[in-house]
Structure 1
């Protein structure tokens, strides 16, 4: 039995984007719909307010589209207020995020 698209993307994030965790950032796949091809990833922790978070978001979008045939649309959200909470997923990533509107790729 194969892993879900969300599980495969989570595994990909751990392998392809270790720099996020190494710098105290977090990431979590909030949506991964294999039927529509839509994926939503949220960054948090030290990604919040980081001057290169938009570069990281652009790289994630580009690479997910290239590495997953079924993915057709990627949204990477970068909160401007940081990680609020202790709930995490594999690799110390994830958590509940507090959001605030900032710019195009921020909420």
Structure 2
């Protein structure tokens, strides 16, 4: 029996967060989880792009992953900037140019 990879463990953790995210029409995916460096990249999609509090969600994900996983040292959370959450986009409504959550999506 092999131990789960960092990516699998982080994905399982994110699934536990999904009811909250999905309740608001959002989606998430773990894009990267580097076992050697401890770096994790999470992408938020659906209605998270263009949401006024997606930066709070991103901060909570970043803080909680670092606190809950000894081997996670750095977390980047990205959201799509376009606010596109239609059926024509891929992977749960993600679309548009990716930006770090600290960058303005230009929706206000």
Q: TM-score range by the shorter chain?
A: 0.7 to 0.9
Checking the alignment, whether the CA contact within 8 Å between 2:55 and 2:102 is kept in structure 1 is no
Checking the alignment, whether the CA contact within 8 Å between 1:85 and 1:96 is kept in structure 2 is yes
Query: Partners in 2 of 1:106 and 1:74 — Cα distance?
Result: 19
Query: Partners in 2 of 1:104 and 1:25 — Cα distance?
Result: 18
Query: Partners in 1 of 2:11 and 2:77 — Cα distance?
Result: 13
Mapping of 1:19-34 within 5 angstroms? 19-34=20-35
RMSD (Å) for aligned C-alpha atoms: 2.3
What is residue 11 of structure 1 aligned with on the other side?
12
What is residue 43 of structure 2 aligned with on the other side?
42
Checking the alignment, whether the CA contact within 8 Å between 1:24 and 1:45 is kept in structure 2 is yes
Q: Which has the larger radius of gyration?
A: 2
Count how many residue pairs are aligned between Structure 1 and Structure 2: 101
Gaps of 5+ in 1: 88-93
Question: Relative to structure 1, is the Cα distance of residues 45 and 96 closer, same or farther in structure 2, using a 3 angstrom cutoff?
Answer: closer
